[in-house]
Structure 1
Amino acid sequence: MTTRQTWTAADLAAELRGRLIVSCQAPPGDPMRETGALVRLARSGAAGGGAAIRANEPDVVAAIVAAVDLPVIGLWKDGDTGVYITPTVRHALAIVEAGAAVVAADATERQRADGSTFADLVAAVHAAGALVMADVSTLAEGVTAAEQGADFVSTTLSGYVPGTPKTRGPDLTLVAELAAAIDVPVVAEGRINTPQDAAAALARGAHSVVVGTAITAPTALTARFVAGLTKH
């Protein structure tokens, strides 16, 4: 068993205030979807000044916890539709077992396959000694997640849930609305493509910012450049 990182919510919030969380993930079939490669991305994120790492799947989380002296926000994507970000208590406890300080999980209003609730997941993770980050898509979901005990609320799923608008850049409106409505730290995540986007999120009330693709996804970044060249 990997040694679990232990933080209080207050201490971790203080550590992350105004800082960058680097998401080190890769989609299925991507050349970077290999534990060693993702660990090197995490080490690079740490070397560049990142405050924490966000990572997917127990084996990868455990390897990054062992390699990087930063808090790790772990999740487990199971599938690619519906509730697939840490969808059950079983998934959440596996991420705790892997050593994550924080478990990130879908906190939208959608039904979970096993019939559990986000509140059930929060209770189980807290009982296991870790913290919870709620990935939401709307203001109402963020408010409810905070009421159910989430330690952090992230805008991760804005634009990725049917019925929610997908902005070209980060959903700064949702960031501002959440920051005004809840007392737990609000984390801006999703379509943050530039340092200016990140700074804008902080200006709108984000406690900290998660950046993934713009830092750790060479396949997606290459495709952007290729697409830009084909327009001329």
Structure 2
Amino acid sequence: MHPAIRALEGTLIVSCQAYPGEPMRDPRTMAQVAAAVEEGGASAVRAQGLEDIAQVKTAVTVPVIGIWKDGSEGVFITPTLAHCRAVIEAGADILALDGTLRERPDGLTFAETLRRIRDLTDIPVMADCDSEESALAAAEAGADIIGTTLAGYTGARPSTEGPDLELLSSLVAQLPGRAVVAEGRVHTTAQAAACREAGAFAVVVGTAITHPTSITRWFGAAVQGA
């Protein structure tokens, strides 16, 4: 296991993202958010977009997991080999990309993409998976981290209210010694703990920590519904 991955075991990774048109959609703001979560104990941060990756890289000392979302349908998380190269060049310490079995825009499979990345660099790679089948295929291809990131978002599995603990537990059992990371709909501390109890190598939390618009809506609904 890559030393950078081993250091993440048993820790919290925080995803620092804002969406187009939102008040916080600025790379400098995301860098400040990343610095704040590092101060709070995050072992790594996940950043979206080339400018964000570069800015966050200057603001933190922990590893930066870089992605590039391009589009909104199908495969859009670091969807092509060209996107992967750009994320690496932007300074990411760990490259994350769509690890599903869906057709990619450049026609390459995940395994083919990973092989070509390995020809360029030994940077650790995180596969954002959506099912048991895609996760096992990504592991077979050699991904360093297997994430449950896309479970419930592609139609491969039903969307659960919180993290997909069933998928997580299954992958942990089938991939002993591998870094199976829980990500997706981890909205409470209890859910984060449940992920670790289910065997997650590490846990990624995004919206519940770094997206104030969503957090405000949750609290607003609770107050109005009381």
| Aligned residue among 67, 73, 80 for 1:81 | 73
Per-residue deviation, residues 57-78 of structure 1 (Å, max 9, x unmatched)? 1111011111110101000000
Distance of 2:14 and 2:189 partners within structure 1: 13
Q: Which residue of 1 aligns with 2:54?
A: 62
Instruction: In structure 1, give the amino acid aligned to 2:179.
Output: P
| Aligned residue among 168, 181, 188 for 2:161 | 168
Distance of 2:134 and 2:115 partners within structure 1: 17
Per-residue deviation, residues 56-109 of structure 1 (Å, max 9, x unmatched)? 011110111111101010000001110000000000010000111111111111
Question: Is the 8 Å Cα contact of residues 103 and 125 (structure 1) preserved in structure 2?
Answer: no
Question: Is the 8 Å Cα contact of residues 95 and 103 (structure 1) preserved in structure 2?
Answer: yes
Counterpart secondary structure, 1:13: helix
Q: Percent identity?
A: 46
Distance of 2:58 and 2:208 partners within structure 1: 25
Structure 2 matches for 1:187-206, cutoff 5 A?
187-206=181-200
Task: Please state if 1:96 is matched with 2:88.
Answer: yes
**Cα shift at 1:46:** 0.4
Alignment: residue pair count: 224
| CA RMSD between the two structures | 1.2
Structure 2 matches for 1:136-155, cutoff 5 A?
136-155=129-148
Instruction: In structure 2, give the amino acid aligned to 1:30.
Output: E
Question: Is the 8 Å Cα contact of residues 130 and 156 (structure 2) preserved in structure 1?
Answer: no
Counterpart secondary structure, 1:156: coil
**Cα shift at 1:149:** 1.1
| Aligned residue among 38, 51, 61 for 1:46 | 38
Counterpart secondary structure, 1:82: coil
Instruction: In structure 2, give the amino acid aligned to 1:161.
Output: T
Q: Which residue of 2 aligns with 1:13?
A: 5
Q: Which residue of 2 aligns with 1:23?
A: 15
Q: Which residue of 2 aligns with 1:5?
A: none
Question: Is the 8 Å Cα contact of residues 101 and 109 (structure 2) preserved in structure 1?
Answer: no
Structure 2 unmatched runs, 5+: none
**Cα shift at 1:228:** 2.4
Counterpart secondary structure, 1:22: strand
Question: Is the 8 Å Cα contact of residues 43 and 67 (structure 1) preserved in structure 2?
Answer: yes
Counterpart secondary structure, 1:214: helix
The TM-score, its normalising length taken from structure 1, stands at: 0.93
Structure 1 unmatched runs, 5+: 1-8
